[in-house]
Structure 1
Amino acid sequence: MTQENGRWGWLSYGLIVMAFTHTLTHIFAGIAPTLYPEFIVEFGLTNQDLGLLASIPSLCAALLSIPIGLMADKIGAKKMILISIAVAIAGAVLAYSATTPFTLILGLSLLIVNTTIYHPASYSFTTFLFKPEDRPKALGIHGAGGTLGMTLGPISLTLLIGSLAFNWRQVYLFWVAPLILGTISVWFIKYIPSEDISTESEEKSSGQATKLLSRGLIIFLIFVAVRMMGMSMNRAFMNVWLADTKGWGLATRGIITGANTLMGLVAAPVGGILATRYGEKKWTVWTLIAAYICYTLAYVLPGDTTFIVFYVASGLFTFLSMAANSAIMAKLSPSGQRGLGYALYFLPGSVMGAIAPMIAAFIADNFGVYNVFMACIGVYFLAVAVLQFGVKVD
């Protein structure tokens, strides 16, 4: 494609860097949950302790979300992304050197805060590069970078620990060098967009929001919050359940977790293209219903192979909805407050990441770990109902 108003087509340097840094940002998201059984043994943690370990980093992210969103609109995407990478490097070094639960939580908190700093800036940058009708496609490419990171994290545990005799601390240190490369790639970005391509009249005709806290946005954020509650509950205890019930070791768990997110490499960009064709909301509802049916079958039907097939399939359909979700948020937030809008978009995930693991720990202690996943099923389908009947966007 040719340049238009200073913005380039699909494979511009800026979009490639956003996808690459998105990969680096999400690498650590899949490492810690995979290591929860090891943390329990090494640090002598109870279910409630594990709930706190999973909750505190998300609580830190939640408290910082709004200030960071305001900063993203004021100081620009490039500076915010450089700050996020610096925070990630500090978190990785702290996790590597952790000898107590406190230092481990501090390191993990910085790694989560890194994503809170990164997301408003990178999503704003990407949405400003493209017209509203093209955003799902661009966000699909951007999202594929994030899913690659989610995949590389758990798989790196399998490869580095299983094949190269690393310990889990050294895995955190291993990723510092790629983070430094990410800093260099961001440094060479020259063009930094700060507003939408569309004019004001085009925004109105395309359904672009002119104010931030609309009814549609609030209900959409409720949908995100309910959905993220289910995801956080599942993430907190899935690896513990797999280790205790199925007897799967770190290498196997890493492969399964990585395979689930690996689906996003293809599903995220393809989902963006299909969302453009069928409409963001309709596509999100369809794909999430399919994802949650697969999730239900994974836990209800017997057999290890059955679990793997349906759990990985749930990841495929979940990532098919990723770009559409992000595009809906872009529609519901005005151009001048896009950074704050995306901070609000990721805020429910941080809040539920702080609350949901403690709820899951209560369920696990009183009703058994398996019932955590049964609760997740109900929460997931409630989220779809909120989106279908509460949000008007297409």
Structure 2
Amino acid sequence: MNKSYSRKMVARVFIPFAFSHLTSFIFRNINAVLAPFLISALSLSAGQLGLLTSAYFLSFSLAQLPVGLALDKYGPKRVQLFLLSIAATGSLLFYVGKDFSTLLLARILIGLGLSACFMGSIKILSFYVPSTKLPSIHSYLLAAGGLGAMLSTLPVAWIVEFTTWRSLFLIMAGLIVVVMFTITIWTPADPVEHRMVKWPTLSSLLEVYKDKDFLRVIALFLLPHTVSFGLAGLWLGKWLEDVGHFSTETVSLYLFISMGAVIVGALSVGSITEWAGKYGLKPMEVGGVGIGLFILIQTLCALNCLPLMPVLSVAFTLIGAITGLDYTIVAQRVSPAMTGRTATCLNLLILFGAFLIQTVFGFIVDFWPQNSQGQYPSIAYQMAFLLMVLLQIPGFLYWLMRVISQRSLRNPSVG
């Protein structure tokens, strides 16, 4: 890949699709700031709030397999433009919706419409980027998502001060139209040689889930990734508000910094992984160490230590960025013609898991009664965080024991 072709890729491929990925992260995390307004306007319980917010992940995840097939069959540009029109419709419906059911439907449409933003980016980048450079370019893409997450915090809080939360979704619909225009004008047509001629059979999709390497990746990464997505997008802010008793403005500021840490974390993951590779360390080993640290951060969150809460909210997203390494590991092991299917098989598990995590966390918290300010007690969040930690430990220990076993075989003790 020569230098001029690299510039063409960045200008005409990476930027428009990174723009769409950024937009999807704004929608994904926006309810973390809007939660007090939604609760007030619709009298939502914690369970309803969790369901409304996680509906994005549900529709997003259910769309992954057909979207992956469509990306391989029709190419990312055509698929992306079609789906973004659905997302714009969902945003407009959220703007006019007056009850929980309507907003739930709108959130489902938004999730469906944005379901190809990341996978489409991975697919189109696989046409132009050498395999050895994928960790870095994927880290830039994840950083774009982190920027979108940042924009969903303090900037959203500022906008809501001058308008209503409903009007915000009208603005977001306009932003999606801008993304569609950018992709239409800038992005080149998809290379025909990388398109799938026939739709694959169900058995060819199941082969992805049966692959031993794929199973090893999800055993380590899946649950931490779902927790990272699910909690940062909603419950991290509510935890700061209910347990830390911070104001809405202060919570927005902490979330803004936390989402900024996503950018730092994503860029660092790519650099650290490539650096570690020079010394013979594989991405799975880098990911295992990072996930161990991520579980430790969650354990500290479960302690509800008030002075540490702002620091932990930042550390949660900073260290949690390591979970995005699973996309790179999967993408490195398949041909460009299969990237859509394989990556979306992974994404299906992650996003459906995030839906479950976000919903279950809310229902656990809902076991305890609210106070007069609509806040839940500390013990509710302690139990919810503790369950998250317990779910992730088996996968981490399985990876750790496997590493120890492999090192023992390579370096047997001398009797």
TM more than 0.5: yes
1:224-243 alignment runs, 5 A limit: 224-231=221-228, 234=231, 235-243=233-241
Moved more, 128-137 or 224-233: 224-233
Q: Which amino acid aligns with 1:41?
A: S
CA offsets 1:119-165 (integer angstroms, 9 cap, x no match)? 22211112332111111011111111111111111222222124xx2
Match of 2:294 among 291, 294, 304: 291
Aligned-residue offset at 1:301: 5.6
Unaligned runs of 5+ in 1: 197-210
Root-mean-square deviation (Å):
2.8
CA offsets 1:11-48 (integer angstroms, 9 cap, x no match)? 34312222222112211111023323332222122233
Moved more, 132-141 or 283-292: 283-292
Distance 1:250 1:193 in 2: 48
Aligned-residue offset at 1:65: 1.7
Q: Which amino acid aligns with 1:296?
A: T
Counterpart in the other structure of 1:104:
103
Distance 1:309 1:357 in 2: 22
Contact 2:217 2:326 survives alignment (8 Å): no
Q: Looking at CA atoms only, which structure, 1 or 2, has the larger radius of gyration?
A: 2
Distance 1:62 1:320 in 2: 21
1:97-176 alignment runs, 5 A limit: 97-162=96-161, 165-176=162-173
Residue 11 of structure 1 aligns to a residue whose secondary structure is helix
Distance 2:322 2:226 in 1: 20
Counterpart in the other structure of 1:257:
255
1:281 aligned onto 2:284: yes
Aligned-residue offset at 1:327: 1.1
1:1-394 alignment runs, 5 A limit: 2=2, 11-162=10-161, 165-187=162-184, 188-190=186-188, 192-193=190-191, 212-213=208-209, 214-231=211-228, 234=231, 235-278=233-276, 279-300=282-303, 302-304=305-307, 306-320=308-322, 322=324, 324-366=325-367, 368-388=380-400
Moved more, 248-257 or 101-110: 248-257
Distance 1:194 1:344 in 2: 23
Distance 1:36 1:96 in 2: 16
When residues 257 and 352 of structure 1 are mapped into structure 2, their CA distance, relative to the original with a 3 A threshold, is: same
Moved more, 214-223 or 234-243: 234-243
The two structures have a TM-score, normalised by structure 1, of 0.84
CA offsets 1:275-322 (integer angstroms, 9 cap, x no match)? 122132122222232333234334426224x21112202322222553
Q: Which amino acid aligns with 1:313?
A: A
Distance 2:350 2:160 in 1: 30
CA offsets 1:308-367 (integer angstroms, 9 cap, x no match)? 112202322222553x32210102434322111111121112222332234324422446
Q: Post-superposition, which runs of at least 4 consecutive aligned residues in structure 1 deviate over 6 A?
A: none
Distance 2:16 2:146 in 1: 15
Contact 2:236 2:313 survives alignment (8 Å): no
Distance 1:147 1:271 in 2: 13
Unaligned runs of 5+ in 2: 195-206, 277-281, 369-379, 406-415
CA offsets 1:152-188 (integer angstroms, 9 cap, x no match)? 11222222124xx222112222223332221122112
Counterpart in the other structure of 1:207:
none
Contact 2:95 2:169 survives alignment (8 Å): yes
Aligned residues: 373
Contact 2:243 2:304 survives alignment (8 Å): no
